[in-house]
Amino acid sequence: MLQLAVVFFVIALVAGALGFTGVAVGAAQVAQLLFVLFLLLALGGFVLDLLRRRRARKVSR
C-alpha cells in the first residue's frame, strides 16, 4: 500500500508541476484537478499504511 501511495504522490507532483507552472496551459485546470486528486489519494494511502502498521504491532504483542 505504501508503494501505491508513493506512486500517487509522484503523479500528483507531476500534475502540479504541469498545472501550476503554465507548461500545459490548455490543460491547466485538468492538471490542477489531478494534482489535488492524487495528492488526496497519496495522503489516504499513507494514513492507511500507518494505521495498518499500528494495528499489526498491537496484534503481535
Q: 53: helix, coil or strand?
A: helix
Each residue's pLDDT tens digit, 37-52 = 989 999 999 999 999 9
Work out how many domains the chain is built from and give that number: 1
- Is residue 2 over pLDDT 80? no
- Domain hosting 21: range is 2-60
Tell me which residue has cell 497519496: 42
Model pTM? 0.64
- Hey, CA dihedral for 13, 17, 20, 26, is it positive or negative? negative
Q: What is the mean pLDDT of residues 54-61?
A: 79
Instruction: Calculate the dihedral angle through the C-alpha atoms of 40, 42, 47, 53, rounding to the nearest 10 degrees.
Output: 160
What is the C-alpha separation between 45 and 16, in angstroms, rounded?
A: 19
Q: List, for residues 9-35, the tens digit of each pLDDT value.
A: 888 888 888 777 877 677 778 878 888
